[in-house]
Chains A and B, each alone.
Chain A
């Protein structure tokens, strides 16, 4: 089968790889119909996440058809079309029982903080991902969710990460009616977080980025205010000035490790890899939020130490909430929203590429070529 193959920083190629096999009685094999490249794939692509091994297939956002199941799989059957949440969760451990599906304790041997993620660094379990024709899906009784009849595959694939993560970013903000929400990063997740903030009753939603085309997209899609941080001068002063000098009620970091905008952070975080990515967006979020406000983090950081203004967190009495999205918990509600036309996920997709052009896809997304917001890959074995 064809699959993406990571060869080192900024080098990926398409290659013949062995078909995935059932290795555990709760495994399923899925024939991929759509997969996406995600902003967090770029952290891997750039070589910024420890234990990203050569030979790995990336891709944690995919939908497909079940073609084979293990002996203990009962909840899905061969022929089902499923969307597969990006987290691999057992459904039995204490964290899964608490609906913390992103923190499962039985899927990722390499680390204890996070559960497993498809197609990620080995510190997320060492699983191949969905930028391939076929993929192994463990714990098939828990993760895979049957795509409701009539739902567009392009909508479904965005329900594996982008929509739930954006939604949870807003949810973790504890947004109350009338709150001012400031979102850092106008990538797909940031745009979705801005959009979902309205569902929680935000009174005002502001998004910050430096790419004009993304800001324009956010303005239209999420109906929010959008500002270019390269034009507004000091971001903390800006935040205070536009909020009666107090700060936003909720700040969302939807950027993570690869933030631009602060030379010191860029050098120590992105070039020297001495911290888990440049914490610029987090820094800004903490300094722009109101005292007693909430900072919600969904931007991914590597696991090493970070130079964050933690003193400010203490002094301002902040509550910081952060997690990988609990996709499964959120899916029923989000599927409803999509079916009722309240969220239109596929509108984020700007590029559709054959899987064979995966290297170009990464280059385009990573270098923001051709106004790329969200690229989707389509394997040759899936009819477009």
Chain B
């Protein structure tokens, strides 16, 4: 009879160490170093750290757009990204979030909220530019269709079923 107990029940309290000879594993022990105790990066300290924020800073990238910076630092870093400038309501929420340090929830939670607002602003923006977002394609459903037809169909069926049930329920209520 098949034993269906979880694996752990069948195991005795002992170390199944496996083979002591690891010669079949290419490179075994090649980087072994008894001094590889958890001291990195401390062993790389130069005492330069004690000089604080005094290094010769790289050239400053021109700050010609609004860049939020952590209030735990005095300035914008020498370089920064310009991927998605602040905009609209989401931008206003992000600005608020950056009044608080990275140490508190009131910094992070508004940022997550702003992300959701940003998503809606993105859809509005698409429409403004005469572009109807193809949600089916953006969600990669083609791949789901190719490799997980049954799962996708089941999900569609569930949604259809719920919709049908809601419609039926609404109809039966309206008859009362």
Contacts and interface: CB of A to CB of B under 8 A. Distances in A.
Interface of A: 7-13, 23-27, 47, 50-57, 72, 88, 90, 92-94, 97-100, 105-113, 116, 119, 122-123, 125-128, 138-139, 171-172, 174-177, 180, 196, 198-201, 203-204, 223, 225, 227, 231-234, 237-238, 240-245, 273, 294, 302-305, 319, 321, 333, 337, 340-343, 359-364, 367, 369-370
B80 interface: yes
Contacts of A242: 11, 14-16
A110 B44 CA distance: 27
B130 interface: no
A60 B141 CA distance: 24
A360 B118 contact: no
B8 A199 contact: no
Contacts of B92: none
Task: Summarize A's interface: helix, strand, loop or mixed.
Answer: loop
Contacts of B18: 203-204, 225
A199 to B, nearest CB: 5
Given A51-B114, A54-B122, A111-B102, A116 B81 contact: yes
B115 A47 contact: yes
Given A109-B67, A171-B40, 16 more contacts: A8-B119, A8-B123, A47-B116, A90-B79, A92-B58, A99-B41, A116-B79, A116-B80, A122-B84, A180-B15, A233-B8, A238-B11, A321-B38, A343-B27, A361-B140, A367-B148
Given A94-B55, A107-B77, A172-B38, A7 B12 contact: no
A53 B15 CA distance: 49
B108 A50 contact: yes
A233 B140 contact: no
Contacts of B112: 50, 273
B148 to A, nearest CB: 5
Contacts of B115: 8, 47, 50-53
Contacts of B78: 24, 90, 106-107
A321 B38 CA distance: 8
A112 B70 contact: yes
Contacts of A234: 8
B102 A364 contact: no
B38 A126 contact: no
Contacts of B118: 8, 53-54
A364 B77 contact: no
Nearest to B6: A233
Contacts of B128: none
A217 to B, nearest CB: 17
B38 A294 contact: yes
B170 interface: no
A342 B29 CA distance: 11
Interface of B: 6-9, 11-18, 20, 22, 24-34, 36-38, 40-41, 44-46, 48-49, 51-53, 55-59, 61-62, 67-70, 72-73, 75-84, 90, 94, 97-98, 102, 105, 108-109, 111-112, 114-116, 118-119, 121-123, 133-135, 137-144, 146-148
Contacts of B69: 109-110
A337 B30 CA distance: 10
Contact of B31 (A138, A223, A302, A333): A333
Contact of A128 (B24, B81, B98): B81
Nearest to B63: A109
Contacts of B9: 233
Given A171-B40, A321-B38, A341 B7 contact: no
Tell me whether chain B's interface is mostly helix, strand or loop, or mixed.
Answer: loop
B81 A122 contact: yes
A302 B56 CA distance: 31
A359 B139 contact: yes
A227 B81 CA distance: 42
A359 B97 CA distance: 31
A111 B70 contact: yes
A92 B76 contact: no
A11 B126 CA distance: 13
B82 A7 contact: no
Contacts of B28: 198-199, 201
A302 B112 CA distance: 11
A16 B90 CA distance: 24
B176 to A, nearest CB: 37
A232 B70 contact: no
Contacts of A110: 68-70, 98
A345 to B, nearest CB: 14
B73 A112 contact: yes
Contact of B25 (A51, A108, A223): A223
A109 B138 contact: no
A109 B80 CA distance: 7
Nearest to A353: B143
